[in-house]
Amino acid sequence: MPEIIKTKDPSSKKLIILITSLVVLILVIIVFLKITNKDINLNVYNSTPKVSMEVGGVGSIDIENNDFVAENQIELISEKNPAAIENPVRPLDLPIPQDIFNTSGVISGIYGNYIVIRGIGTNFDDQIKRDLTINIDQNTFINGVKENSFSTVLSVGDEIAVESDYNIHGKTEFTAKYINIINK
C-alpha cells in the first residue's frame, strides 16, 4: 500500500510570518509613541465658519453702490485719511479687496496669549494705522515652527508679517496662523 505523504503548504507559513510581523511592528510603534509621549496630529481640513469670512466694520469707507469708481474711492479715503494720499499702503485707483488675510506691523506689546502690533493699515479701507490684537494659539507657526513659548522668539520692536486663516478685513483682533519676523 502506498504511503500518504503529508506536505505543508509553504504559502500558509509565509502568510503567518507576515501577519505576525505586522502585529509586532504595530505594537512597537504604539509602545514607541507611548514612551516618547508624541501626539499624532493629523491635519484634517475643517471648513472655515462663514462668520469668520465676513468683513469687519472698522475703517470702512461707504461706497454708495458696488460700482467701482477710482475717483470716488480716492475722495472718500482723502476725507478720512489724508496721509493715505501721500503715502498709500496699496494703490488707490484699484478696488479695495473684500478678502484680506495678511498684514504687517511692529510689535508694541507681548502678553499671555496675544501680542499687540501697530498695523500699517493694509486691512482697512481708510488705510489708517491702528493697534491690532493678534491672538496666538497652539496652531500658530512662528517663522515656520510651532512655538510653545512665543515670548522667547518675539520681542517688542520686531517688525512682523501676520497671516490668518480667515478674513481680517476691517478687524482689529484676530488669531494668527503664521507670524514671520521681517526685522528684529
30-52 pLDDT per residue, tens? 888 777 765 555 555 555 556 66
Map out the domains of the chain with their CATH numbers: 55-183 (2.40.50.320)
The pLDDT of residue 160 is 95
pLDDT for res 102 = 92
Are β-strands 178-183 and 141-142 bridged in parallel, bridged antiparallel, or unpaired?
Answer: parallel
pLDDT at 97: 82
Residue 103: predicted pLDDT: 93
Residues in the chain where the model's pLDDT stays below 50? none
Write down the pLDDT at residue 9: 64
Q: Which residues pair with 107 in a beta bridge?
A: 117
pLDDT of residue 158: 94
CA-angle at 172, arms to 167 and 176, nearest 5°: 55
Our CA angle for 6, 9, 15, nearest 5°, is 150
With a CB cutoff of 8 Å and minimum separation 6, the contacts of 169 are: 55, 56, 97, 98, 99, 100, 123, 124
Tell how strand 145-146 and strand 141-142 pair up. Answer: antiparallel
**Three cell numbers at 62?**
461707504
The model scores a pTM over 0.75? no
pLDDT of residue 1: 54
